[in-house]
Every structure is written in C-alpha cells, then in structure tokens.
Amino acid sequence: MLLEIAEVEVRPGAEDQFANAMRDAGVAHLAACDGVVSARFGRGVENPSKFTFNVVWTSMEAHQNARNLPEFGQFRACFGDLTIGGAMSHYQMDEALTGPSAA
C-alpha cells in the first residue's frame, strides 16, 4: 500500500469554491480511480487556503497509471485554475503497522 499526502494551496477568495467542488464531485472522481483504496480531503485550520488530500493507493504504479484515467481527469477538472501551488509526498505503508494493534 502507498499513502499519498498532497497539500494544495488555493487562490485567495476561491477556498469555498474549491471545498464545494471537492465535496460535490472531486473526491468521488478521485476515489473512483483504479487502485484507490481510500481518499479524503481536509481544509487547513491555521491557513484555510491550504487543503490536504490523503489517498491510499494499492501501489505507486496504480497511482502513476491513474493520471491517464478519465476519472482522474474529471477530478482535476473540478478545481481547474483554483490552485496556485502544492506539494506531494508518498509513503510505503508497512502492513504490520496498519492494523488495530499498531501503536
């Protein structure tokens, strides 16, 4: 499993539009991509112009392949030019640490 943590900065004044677009359809399009196990997004508390996506993928290959899927294109189309930057990190998940007994 692969955890993707993406942080996106949204144009000032477009935060509510971005949040609504993600709630209405964006996250659903992302979650519909082959290889997505789960997808969530949230809005920054200290900086409401920043949003995060936490996506669990079956593999890095699935994540890379998803960029060519229609569903991923629909996800990106939901926010179009509302973003002004961001960063992305990926983490290989250790199966031994993902269960209920993980400390």
Q: What is the CATH number for 40?
A: 3.30.70.100
Whether residue 26 lies inside any domain: the answer is yes
Whether residue 70 lies inside any domain: the answer is yes
Whether residue 71 lies inside any domain: the answer is yes
C-alpha 41/C-alpha 34 separation (Å) is 18
Whether residue 14 lies inside any domain: the answer is yes
β-strand pairing of 50-57 with 2-10: antiparallel
User: How many structural domains compose the chain?
Assistant: 1
Q: What is the pLDDT of residue 80?
A: 85
Whether residue 34 lies inside any domain: the answer is yes
Q: What angle do CA 39, 91, 64 make, to 5 degrees?
A: 65
Q: What is the pLDDT of residue 103?
A: 47
Q: What is the pLDDT of residue 98?
A: 59
Q: What is the pLDDT of residue 100?
A: 61
Residue 57's domain spans which residues?
2-94
Residues of the chain predicted below pLDDT 70: 95-103
- Both tokens of residue 63? 């994540």
Q: What is the pLDDT of residue 87?
A: 96
